[in-house]
Amino acid sequence: MSTTSSELEHPKYVELQTNDGVIFTVDTRLALQMGPIRKLIFLEIENNITTTEVFPLARVDAKNLRFIIKWSASVADLKDNEMDGQSILKKLLDEDDADYEFLLQLILAANYLQMENLLQATTQLLANAIEACESVEEICDYFNVKAD
């Protein structure tokens, strides 16, 4: 889906509210990468409406959105090189000392937001972690899952 420069000027920033009530002001270009928000923005453009409404993100909390914004800014200059996106993802997760529970939450958020690049990077990182394990018990230990 392509956008014209006039669409990006309408408005330059949008406000997103996470499910825990935190409001983030983000560049419209980032918001347009998020499927549910993109649809709302295009509806406003189509109907020639400008609102100052805050767009709700029912399935994303502040910690996840903060990370998504940081990841998006880090990969903004990349040219469809998924390895670089994965490397940046791993680096940012390491910097935040994030665990795999956070990675799973991030996968759910990326899926809800329809952010294909982030979803691809997160799921590939998870798959690599599982593949590196040598047994079911090791996978259970790694992800802090109680075996039956």
Nearest to 100 by CA among 144, 146, 148: 144
Mean pLDDT of 45-68: 89
Q: Which CATH class is domain 5-132?
A: alpha beta
pLDDT tens sequence across 93-128:
999 999 989 999 999 999 999 999 999 999 999 999
Please check the confidence at residue 37 and state whether its pLDDT lies above 60: yes
pTM (2 d.p.): 0.83
Domain ranges of the chain: 5-132
Beta strands (DSSP E) in 7-105 are 13-17, 23-27, 54-56
What is residue 26's predicted lDDT score, i.e. its pLDDT? 95
What Cα–Cα distance (Å) separates residue 87 from each residue in 59, 91, 122, 127?
26, 6, 11, 14
Please check the confidence at residue 74 and state whether its pLDDT lies above 70: yes
Please check the confidence at residue 148 and state whether its pLDDT lies above 70: no
How far apart (Å, rounded) are the C-alpha atoms in residues 72 and 32? Answer: 12
How far apart (Å, rounded) are the C-alpha atoms in residues 127 and 13? Answer: 35
